[in-house]
Structure 1
Amino acid sequence: MDNREKQTTESIAQTSDYVASYLDKIKTLSNLIAMYPQISEILENPSSKSADGLLTMVNISASSDPRIQTIAVISKNGFAITSNSDMAMPLSRNMMNEEWYKVAVQSNQMPVVTSLRHGDFVMDRENLVISISHEIVDEHGNHLGVVLIDISYRFIEDYISSIDLGERGYAYILDNANNVLYHPDESVFFNEQKKKELVSLAEGTERLPHYFVTSAEIPHSDWRLIGVSSTESTMLLKKKLIEGILLVNFLLIFASIALSVMISRRLTKPIVELQNAMMSLDKSWGHIAVNSNSSVEIVALTTEYNALLDRIKVLTEDIAQKENAKRLFELKALQSQINPHFLYNTLDTILWLAEFGETEKVVAVSKSLGEMLRLSLDIHQTLVPLQSELANTENYLRIQQTRYEDKICYRIQGEEELLSVSVPKLILQPIVENSIYHGIRPQRGKGYIEIVYEKRDGKLIITVSDNGVGYFSSVEENDRNLIKAKLGGIGMKNVDQRIKLLYGNQYGIEVRENQPHGTVVIYTLKCE
């Protein structure tokens, strides 16, 4: 086993442990709720005063973890105490026929994980959740109800995204019935053939060339995590795993604090008052005032809580700084990329031009390509004059004109005094590339691209428009945001992120449909 395969195997095993650890934490939470004092009295008599305390515990537990969508305590008679007021499921004895209810009752009072399903306690029926259920019994073992905790299935993505499986690698999860619980491409859930291929891949009956497949059982569950890695570099794997561990530890610390505060609130009135003060704090990291008239224990607890807030603030700011530095590094790498397919096609164009004796065109295309490479390889330069960016884009357009035998025509115009304005490097060519490949190339007839730059309200506005078929001509409305993020060599999303990172969220790009056909991309940049 080479280093790449060893790293992939270790990463999949570690990630499966992280997922299991989080599921165990949720199971522990369900167990704490199921053993809540006076829960028998509450489920038998919903109007009991003790129900308020249980509701408080449910609400605090739900708010302590953003991945938890709903916590519900459901009696066998249909009464429910829930953290979500928008309950879409009818509360009745019919709930006993739900799969998660049956599984909980048959679990011998042990928390169980239910496979992927649509959330029953939210108005959005498209919301997918993983449910953990726990049977509630009285002191004689009689069935009283069920604790149900719905967690967003996206929590799996939080862990799996830390695995570096290469540019074309991916990971997915199957249960013991070979149902797909997670896959980064959500279209898989609606493609039976693709599901069969994933099962065959996991069982080893199908192999992919140049890929390594490994799997690991997720402890304390009937899930399998399967990793499919390409042969690309894994230099960032260790760093991403460390960041994932820090994130998990932070969430566990925060959840532990919230649960400790909730349990302590039931002990004495001073602790209840302290908890209320904690709940009233906003996100400004403000301290709770120490009441000198309180007991020594309360003063010590308040002081320690304030110190803990300071430590969490430092940790959060440190993580944010590291993430920002990582993002800057990634964006610098992205801005220096040239689409390898474009480079190959250009060299192929030069070859056939040479074969046909088109010497002048060979020289022109080679010169344009050389100037593009020179700008791309200068990784130390983040900002360039608008004139250089336009020249780079025009070099690209000249190459494409030659390749497509003048199927493309273009015009670049604007205010001459703006040519010296500094702009982020390589922000125009990816969008022009989208216009050609996704707008003009699929249509019949000649394509037209226009680039206009002007100063408006103190900002530099650049408009790239085409008369192609449009990016969205064959796409449903709900899929447009996904397309915007994926189009192009470097991609619209990364261009927009680089602009926002340099200038702020009020700057970036906007995509509109051109009338009667085509697409318009509008840049909003600083004019300085």
Structure 2
Amino acid sequence: MRTIRSQMMLFFSLLILIPIIISCTNLYYSLQSYLKESYMRQQDQSINNLASELNDWRFQLEELSLLLFGDKRIQQFLSHPNTERSGEQLERAIEFRQAMQTYGGTRKVEYSIYIARMNGTIYGDGLVSKIDNYINSRMAEAAKYKGTAVWEYVDELDTVVLYRQINNNEVDLKNPIGYLFLFIDTSDLEKTIARYKVDNYQQYAVYNNDRTFEIRTDTQKNRIMVHDWKDLGNELLHKAFENNEDYVTFVEPRSDWTIVSWISKKDILRPARDLFFGILFIAFVLILFCVFMVLFLSHRITKPLHKVQQQMKLIGEGIFLFKMPVVRNDEVGELATAMNRMSDEILSLIQKNREEEAKRRLLQLQTLEYQINPHFLYNTLDSVNMLARKHKDPIIADIVTYLSRLFRIGLNQGRELITVKEEVRHVTYYLKIQEIRFAGQLFWDVDLDDQLAEVKMIKFILQPLVENSINHGIRRRETPGHIHIRVSKNEECFLLEVEDDGIGMSPEQLDRIQQSLEEDNSNEEQDHGFGLRNVHQRLQLHYGLPYGLQFKSVEGKGTTVSVKLPIK
């Protein structure tokens, strides 16, 4: 039922809002159209200029590669084997170095030149293992193009590479004598692209038809989506394949290179949106003024009803101690009396329910105390330890000591969370017991990042994983085995790993174990037991579904179980 106050507020709000909304909508769409057309004109000119400059940049470098290709000094050096020790070969080597220095001297673009013989010998300044490995891996690819220039962007080196096969242009052009590699600094290219940005939110991508070379200002964008824009051409607005978002795209093909520019619709229309929100803010201020006037006018009319509303709200929030004063004999007074009576009854029921809940919790705690009394357990283990030392049996004494400490950390006074240091200490005591049990058959070590020692985590994670490694990996091999436990930091998370060199598992076994972790009634003989499933499901209950156990295994070599947990 609408109140008088709400009806008055609705009337005045509509009186203000309707004209503002009509005017704002008309202005918004008019400004949208103007912004889109203006951006299209500017961007069309900008991408053409960028394409021309990139084409000159590419032509300059390919021309340099042709000069190197045809240089007589380089041809003479590569066409003769480097096994010769004659004076002529020495002279060729000197001329070859002079040629390299000549082409690597004055230049507008930063690059490094490397030339390789057919036998894999590489010449050039600043040669490191990464560059050496890359050049050797691309010689066969260069041979496929038979002297044609090949462009490629190398992620691990963060550089653009132009390479081609060098053929003998003095005797037989079909006879390869070496390979040329130009490693080009991308900073100048990136600065050139940045200069032609019409808007800070605009992005560019430059790639060739073979998709070996690609420079992008937005590395997060889906590569397949950007490449597919080539077939669409210049589009004002079309649905992209990512986040269902509208984009403006421009495509400029030049030879076998393609330049793609894109910007989202929301970024183009940002000024219109800012203006729209500004007008909405003014409308909001006017509505607040309207509300103030309505409250002032309706105060005397709606005051009794407002008190009833407040009392109902308090009851809804669970506050029953406040009573509504009954000062009237009309319907509002009767409603107040009924609400006070209902509040008393609800309060009585809540109190009764709390008493019953407290009794249930007390019974549960008593049951747990009857099941296991930690003090009795510690005292008993201490007694066994003293008897073992009295009878001079250090092995039993050590086992009892480790077991006592294992239980003390595991029980943790009923708390679920312990520090990483305590969890590692807990599994260390377990391993010491197993080391005594499997004397000469089990070896282990722990690698803990000290920065993670005091980070909190749920307990009983590592011990079941280690137990699984011993029972299903180490014990089934004929020679002694090793278990390595690592706790390392990984950005905002930390990683627990238990690695063994046991018998490992086949891909089918791995799939079967991963499926069994999600089941509640898995066969313990087939999925390595209850422990792994218990750990996996506890991790997901405490931290969420993305967390859990991950397995990697090679049959005959070992298994690694990893757990990724948040630091906070």
Q: TM-score range by the shorter chain?
A: 0.3 to 0.5
Question: Which of 1 and 2 has greater Rg?
Answer: 2
TM-score (norm 2): 0.36
TM-score (norm 1): 0.38
